[in-house]
Structure 1
Amino acid sequence: MPISVLLVDDEPLVRAGLRAILEAQPDIEVVAEAADGAAVVPLVRRLRPDVVAMDVRMPLLDGIEATRAVLRAVAPPPKILVVTTFENDEYVYDALRVGADGFLLKRAAPAEIVQAVRMVAAGDSLLFPASLRSLAASRGNEPARAAMEKAALTAREAEVLRLMARGLSNPEIAAGLLVGTETVKTHVSAVLAKLGARDRTQAVIAAYESGFVTPG
């Protein structure tokens, strides 16, 4: 089955460009388009896309609120890939914080766009650059630190979380730790459960906001 994608952007040219790039791939299918976040929940309920490529700045309902609405209304939710102009945009960070799975720059090369969709669809890696890591760290707070302490990660789980925070995929983590990929998946699942995180993105945000991991 191809990866099904819903495109959400208020600029028709952006949607047309993304559609052309994605539909050139045999394993990706664009199932619908929307010009504003307000249309996302009904489309997701009806079409059940694997990935929603969501513009972060839209006139009626922005990508942050649309992401929050989808995660609240649809179970299981699709993967949400924020589409943005600037990688250090606080809107992008806020969208990731409320539940988006990664982000994509509008100026990205076609191959990078395709890779981003495949990555978030697989749920195996994370799009989280240094600029957003610094932003997450700057928003550190006592509740985040307390939650990290309460999680009581084992030494190996802590090691896996640090590697996740660097953006490594499960196979890359497995190669670095000299263990099997299934073992890494077990550790990742344990980390998410202990932190109460929906996915890898949420776990990494928790790691930076708590000071467990620092940029650089």
Structure 2
Amino acid sequence: MIKVLLADDQSLVRSGFRMLIDSADDMETVGEVDNGRDAVAMVRTRPVDVVLMDIRMPVMDGAEATQQISRLGLDTKVLVLTTFDLDEYVFAALRGGASGFLLKDALPEELLGAIRSVAAGDAVVAPSTTKRLLTHFAGLLPKSDPGASGRLDTLTEREREVLGEVARGANNQEIAERLYMAEGTVKTHIGRLLSKLDARDRVGLVLIALEEGLGD
């Protein structure tokens, strides 16, 4: 059973999420809070698999709460929810350890699927989301030539190509089709990229690629 904590300052939103989550056979709501500070405190005191984290809350915002939860070293994953698809707080939350983000108007099956993916250790990086991140935040990052930092020096040319496709929001099947390789081979390359670049998940790869100037 996937244990979900709801962190949102709007009680009606929490009620809607609770009804949806508790209707699923494989997950349950284990708590509700209306600010980031209480979210961190609750994660400290009870088992939580996934936090549905609103990004804009009083007392402590979702980005700071995500960073603090990440620093606890627990298995708890954070899925950021926001009304704003181009929100600087979202980027801070992803860098702080969130496993992805969704808009609050996502379809019910999308939300439940995202919770399951995050709980299983995967990252939620929808192609449209990735493209928005690249477009919106590229201008906020220091300008540099691709690979100028040296972080990509250990990658093979094929691994660079795969990383570039990940940065553009392609899933494994799409990468396989674009680069003419088996999907299993793509998974192998993704695993090597995670290891070589010391990234925690696919979100981490997207952020590294963005910072290195890939994905344009």
Distance apart, 1:79 and its partner CA: 1.9
Deviation digits for residues 18-67 of structure 1 (CA, Å, limit 9, x no counterpart)? 11112211122222211111122332233332211101011101011101
Residues 79, 115 of structure 2: 8 Å contact kept: yes
Secondary structure of 1:61 counterpart? coil
Determine whether 1:165 maps to 2:167: yes
Residues 8, 37 of structure 1: 8 Å contact kept: yes
Residues 56, 62 of structure 1: 8 Å contact kept: yes
CA shift in 2, pair 1:150/1:112, >3 Å = closer
Secondary structure of 2:3 counterpart? strand
Determine whether 1:210 maps to 2:212: yes
Structure richer in helix, relative to its length? 1
Compute the RMSD of aligned alpha carbons: 2.4
More deviation, 44-53/56-65: 44-53
Which residue of 2 is the match for residue 136 of structure 1?
Answer: 137
Structure 2 unmatched runs, 5+: none
State how far apart, in whole Å, the 1-side matches of 2:177 and 2:21 are: 30
State how far apart, in whole Å, the 2-side matches of 1:168 and 1:24 are: 31
Which residue of 2 is the match for residue 14 of structure 1?
Answer: 13
Distance apart, 1:204 and its partner CA: 0.3
CA shift in 2, pair 1:198/1:151, >3 Å = farther
State how far apart, in whole Å, the 1-side matches of 2:201 and 2:150 are: 16
Secondary structure of 2:105 counterpart? coil
State how far apart, in whole Å, the 1-side matches of 2:88 and 2:106 are: 19
The alignment-based identity, stated in percent, is 45
State how far apart, in whole Å, the 1-side matches of 2:166 and 2:23 are: 31
Give the paired residue count.
Answer: 211
CA shift in 2, pair 1:90/1:179, >3 Å = same
Structure 1 unmatched runs, 5+: none
Amino acid of the residue matched to residue 27 of structure 1? Answer: D
Which residue of 1 is the match for residue 190 of structure 2?
Answer: 188
CA shift in 2, pair 1:136/1:193, >3 Å = farther
Which TM-score applies when normalising by structure 1? 0.85
